[in-house]
Amino acid sequence: MNNIISFSGGKDSTAMALLMLENNIPIHSVVAFDTGWEFPAMYDHWRLFEEKTGLKIQILKPKWPFDYWMFERPIMARKGPNKGKVHRFGNGWPSFTRRWCTREKVTQIEKFKKTIGNAISCIGIAWDEQHRAKSDNAKRYPLIEHRITEKQALKICRNYGFDWSGLYDVFDRVSCFCCPLQKLGNLRLLRRYYPEQWNQMLEWDAMRPNSNKGFLNYKTVHDLDRRFACEDRQTQLF
């Protein structure tokens, strides 16, 4: 079987790759999906990972840039009198019920896997999150196989000299900086420590299609910005 590492660059997928190298588990390829919405430090980490491990990352791209999906993509009506016609443009922010970003990521990775015979996806899910793992003959979970927890995964990475320029000193999880599915606390930290990325989100939020209900729990990024600013004033006061 050909082991394909699904590599986000986070602590779990990085530790998984290192663990497989330590245990001489054959690796056919390392695949990363570049959303265009990664932290700049994550791109630096990808390059450092290649240097330290000698593994080449196969970087996949979405069919169209995510900015296009979010603001410009023609959306066809599926029913009603306008069925088959464009009735709006842009998907707007992703949500738990509208994960167009995840769908595109999975689509591109599956396309790549089809070019490889007997491909097995190696997924970086830690032992203490094994409830997220799905039983599938085409997938394996090396961290679960070796009972490596999230805390241990981060320690493995740090022992190899990976620090993500401090991302894991701020966040417990790292994904797209603008992900609407992340915890409110992480968004609060993003605004505080990464103002450039937060300002980009405010700019995108002002451009979102009228059909899009909002960002997190139907709030907008501007709603959250006002909330966090109010919290900051209260903290300063007391």
The predicted-structure confidence for 131-157, as pLDDT tens digits, reads as follows: 999 888 889 999 999 999 999 999 999
Angle between helices 184-193 and 195-207 (to 10 degrees): 110
Q: Which residue has the tokens 């588990």?
A: 25
Q: Which amino acid is at 135?
A: S
Residue 201 falls within a domain, yes or no? no
pLDDT at 213 over 80: no
Q: What is the pLDDT of residue 127?
A: 96
Collect all residues with Cβ–Cβ distance below 8 Å to 43 and sequence separation of at least 6.
none
Residue 232 falls within a domain, yes or no? no
Structural domain harbouring 7: 2-169
Tokens read off for 155: 């320690």
pLDDT at 25 over 90: yes
Residue 70 falls within a domain, yes or no? yes
- Can you tell me the distance from the alpha carbon of 127 to that of 92, in angstroms, rounded to the nearest whole number? 34
Residue 236 falls within a domain, yes or no? no
Residue 127 falls within a domain, yes or no? yes
pLDDT at 211 over 80: no
Average pLDDT over the chain, rounded to an integer: 93
Looking at the 3D structure of the chain, how many domains does it have? Answer: 1
Confidence label for 77 from pLDDT (cuts 50, 70 and 90): confident
Collect all residues with Cβ–Cβ distance below 8 Å to 31 and sequence separation of at least 6.
4, 5, 6, 7, 57, 58, 60, 109, 112
Angle between helices 11-22 and 40-53 (to 10 degrees): 0
Compute the Cα dihedral for 85, 90, 94, 100 and give only its sign: positive
Partners of residue 95 on adjacent β-strands: 98
35, HSE (Cβ side, Cα atoms, 13 Å):
23
Residue 52 falls within a domain, yes or no? yes
Q: Which helix (H) or strand (E) holds 151?
A: helix 150-159
Residue 235 falls within a domain, yes or no? no
In three-state secondary structure terms, 197 is: helix
Residue 11 falls within a domain, yes or no? yes
pLDDT at 238 over 80: no
CATH of the domain at 110: 3.40.50.620
pLDDT at 76 over 80: yes
